[in-house]
Amino acid sequence: MSTVSYPDVQLFIDGVWREGHGHDGAAHQPIVNPATEEEIGTLAHASRADLDAALLAAEKGFATWRHVPAHERYKLMRKAAEILRERAEDIARIMTMEQGKPLPESRMETLAAADIIDWFAEEARRLYGRLIPARGAGVQQIVHKEPVGVVAAFTPWNFPINQAVRKISAALAAGCSIILKGPEETPASCAALVKAYEDAGLPKGVVNLVFGVPAEISQYLIPHPIVKKVTFTGSTAVGKQLAALAGAHMKRVTMELGGHAPAVVFEDADVDLAVKLLSGAKFRNAGQVCVSPTRFLVHEDIYSRFVDGFTEAVGQVKVGNGLEDGVRMGPLANSRRVDAMEALTADALSKGATLHAGGARIGNKGYFFQPTVLTDLAADSRILNEEPFGPIVPIMPFTSTEAVIEEANRLPYGLAAYAYTTSSARADEFARRVESGMISINHHGLALPEVPFGGIKDSGYGSEGGIEAMEAYVNTKFVTQLGV
Ligand code: NAD
């Protein structure tokens, strides 16, 4: 077992780890362990001059990296993946200390990141153009795929490595360079990912990592002429602001935003399977997952059975410090989430909801909140309309397929949707009619490297998985030439 201690975190600009000059006199911020509320380290903040240095480094890095042959990019990326695997135990411990999730989840995230790097490394070798048969004799029509250039990426605290690795790796595979503004609250594991790339031999300036005041950094980087592509993961509200700014400067954009996934259990479902898988999925990362199942919609014929089974399963979720053995759910990542859970629960109860489990903060140290189950919810309860991003489960009955599909599509979100049914016709109908970027039926099979990952409607646009992810980092250039 790893005994690594938590590091202070610096900026990585032009191949050098260094302090930042900060903003308004603040060059550092404390990093807090959400399980203990202790300060475990400090984080360097970038100044405008530091961002300028990162921009110039990325411009220079792009000029180098775009000419590195795909096979060399592939080999270097595979090496970074191996380094990440070798360091997974240490990195997982650091991630749990800063983010709170149980150690096995941190380990899984780190190892999954290595798989994501491998996938994009392979895609680097398959970034094909094409030859289009011409109408005229002697004409050659060629489609080239060229890297878009310097990328500005913004990633959040819920998956400190996973959110970053998709952006960095797709950009590198395509031949782009990148400036990543990592998550200020969980920076060390994200920095460890960048370090793996550095130690694999990535040329200077190709990946740059900065931290600071998020709005200051995005306002500066997005309009900057050196930046050609913007990619953001976070809330819909912030995503809309950044997409508007990018639009004003005609920058390419990928937005991976919030969700409010319906989880529908039809009357013909395997109820035990639905209870087992949904209770497992809901409390992963304490519900702070954009594709977390959120609105539980259960057919009235099996409603009581499901609610009883689910409440019993929730009672078995051991909550505690993620470093301890057997803990299934850690603290929430920050105090804002605890406040949000308290407010959502109070709102639901004030409108007549019934509490089956949880409903309160645990203790007075650490950002712990009980796994919570609510029924009898009023339609205007905030939990049914806003992304909870936490361990609260609202369960509602439904009577007809028509009504449940309407409810599934009611909100402006469209990221993930889940269904449990033994009828393949019903599964097909659900998949066809539910407005969502991703649909998973009778299991939870999202987010593998080789499958598309992204939303529609207010959940954003663009994909961060599968072959679609590469498209976000390339320009299509068409060349037609008549041989003379
Ligand atoms: P938030 O909306 O302020 O921040 C979300 C993320 O966006 C953070 O990483 C933050 O650093 C970044 N951010 C905020 N303002 C920014 C700006 N102007 N420019 C660039 N980046 C900016 O709030 P929060 O309290 O951190 O999280 C609250 C909500 O965000 C959650 O309830 C959830 O809905 C959403 N969220 C979604 C994801 C996801 O995976 N899609 C991840 C984290 C948070």
Measured from the CB, is residue 214 less than 6 Å from ligand 1?
yes
Q: How far is the CA of 114 from the centre of ligand 1 (A)?
A: 25
Q: How far is the CA of 99 from the centre of ligand 1 (A)?
A: 14
Measured from the CB, is residue 12 less than 6 Å from ligand 1?
no
Residues with catalytic annotation? Answer: 256, 290
How far is the C-alpha of 34 from the C-alpha of 321, rounded, in Å? 9
Question: How many other C-beta atoms can be found within 10 angstroms of the C-beta atom of residue 368?
Answer: 23
Where residue 23 falls among pLDDT bands split at 50, 70, 90? Answer: confident
Of ligand 1's atoms, which has the minimum distance to the CA of residue 340? 32
- Identify which of 235, 242, 369 to mutate to test ligand 1's pocket (most ligand atoms within 8 A of the CB): 235
How far is the C-alpha of 389 from the C-alpha of 291, rounded, in Å? 10
Measured from the CB, is residue 190 less than 6 Å from ligand 1?
no
Break the chain into its structural domains and give their ranges.
11-257+460-478, 261-448
Measured from the CB, is residue 387 less than 6 Å from ligand 1?
yes
pLDDT of residue 98: 98
How far is the C-alpha of 10 from the C-alpha of 28, rounded, in Å? 9
Question: Which fold is adopted by the domain 261-448?
Answer: Aldehyde Dehydrogenase; Chain A, domain 2 (3.40.309)
Positive or negative: CA dihedral 65, 71, 74, 78: negative
Contacts of 335 (CB under 8 A, 6+ apart): 367
Residue nearest to atom 34 of ligand 1 (CA): 235
CATH of 11-257+460-478 given 3.40.710.10, 3.40.605.10, 2.40.50.140, 3.20.20.100: 3.40.605.10
Give the model confidence (pLDDT) of 256-267 as tens digits.
999 999 999 999
Residue nearest to atom 40 of ligand 1 (CA): 290
Q: How far is the CA of 182 from the centre of ligand 1 (A)?
A: 11
Q: How far is the CA of 238 from the centre of ligand 1 (A)?
A: 7
Judged against a pLDDT cut of 90, whether residue 396 lies above it is answered with yes
Measured from the CB, is residue 367 less than 6 Å from ligand 1?
no
How far is the C-alpha of 313 from the C-alpha of 306, rounded, in Å? 10
pLDDT of residue 60: 98
- Read off the tokens for 443: 């299991």
Amino acid at site 446: L
Measured from the CB, is residue 158 less than 6 Å from ligand 1?
yes
Residue nearest to atom 19 of ligand 1 (CA): 215
pLDDT of residue 340: 98
Q: How far is the CA of 235 from the centre of ligand 1 (A)?
A: 5
Residue nearest to atom 20 of ligand 1 (CA): 214
Measured from the CB, is residue 401 less than 6 Å from ligand 1?
no
Measured from the CB, is residue 218 less than 6 Å from ligand 1?
yes
pLDDT of residue 24: 74
- Read off the tokens for 94: 């650091």
Where residue 187 falls among pLDDT bands split at 50, 70, 90? Answer: very high
Positive or negative: CA dihedral 454, 460, 461, 462: negative
- How many secondary structure helices (H) and strands (E) does the chain include? 14, 22
Judged against a pLDDT cut of 80, whether residue 26 lies above it is answered with no
- Identify which of 238, 344, 413, 438 to mutate to test ligand 1's pocket (most ligand atoms within 8 A of the CB): 238
Amino acid at site 175: G
How far is the C-alpha of 92 from the C-alpha of 244, rounded, in Å? 36
Please provide the average confidence, as pLDDT, over all residues in the chain: 97
Q: Which residue has the tokens 């509200």?
A: 237
Spatial CA neighbour of 76 closest among 233, 232, 201, 257? 201
Spatial CA neighbour of 412 closest among 292, 264, 260, 289? 260
Judged against a pLDDT cut of 80, whether residue 321 lies above it is answered with yes
pLDDT of residue 342: 98
Residue nearest to atom 30 of ligand 1 (CA): 235
Q: What is the mean pLDDT of residues 244-270?
A: 98
Q: Which residue has the tokens 């911020």?
A: 29
Residue nearest to atom 9 of ligand 1 (CA): 156
Judged against a pLDDT cut of 80, whether residue 336 lies above it is answered with yes
Measured from the CB, is residue 234 less than 6 Å from ligand 1?
yes
How far is the C-alpha of 416 from the C-alpha of 414, rounded, in Å? 6
pLDDT of residue 156: 98
How far is the C-alpha of 19 from the C-alpha of 134, rounded, in Å? 56
Give the model confidence (pLDDT) of 105-146 as tens digits.
999 999 999 999 999 999 999 999 999 999 999 999 999 999
Give the model confidence (pLDDT) of 63-79 as tens digits.
999 999 999 999 999 99
Judged against a pLDDT cut of 90, whether residue 481 lies above it is answered with yes
The half-sphere exposure of 135 on its side-chain side, counting CA atoms within 13 A, is: 0
Measured from the CB, is residue 365 less than 6 Å from ligand 1?
no
| pTM of the predicted model as reported, rounded to 2 decimal places | 0.98
Judged against a pLDDT cut of 90, whether residue 317 lies above it is answered with yes
Spatial CA neighbour of 256 closest among 406, 435, 391, 452? 452
Q: How far is the CA of 280 from the centre of ligand 1 (A)?
A: 24
Instruction: Evaluate whether 358 touches 383 at the Cβ level (below 8 Å).
Output: no
pLDDT of residue 27: 82
Give the model confidence (pLDDT) of 399-441 as tens digits.
999 999 999 999 999 999 999 999 999 999 999 999 999 999 9
Judged against a pLDDT cut of 90, whether residue 1 lies above it is answered with no
Q: How far is the CA of 138 from the centre of ligand 1 (A)?
A: 54
Judged against a pLDDT cut of 80, whether residue 175 lies above it is answered with yes
Measured from the CB, is residue 420 less than 6 Å from ligand 1?
no
Q: What is the mean pLDDT of residues 387-410?
A: 98
How far is the C-alpha of 465 from the C-alpha of 4, rounded, in Å? 32
- Read off the tokens for 7: 């590091």
pLDDT of residue 293: 98
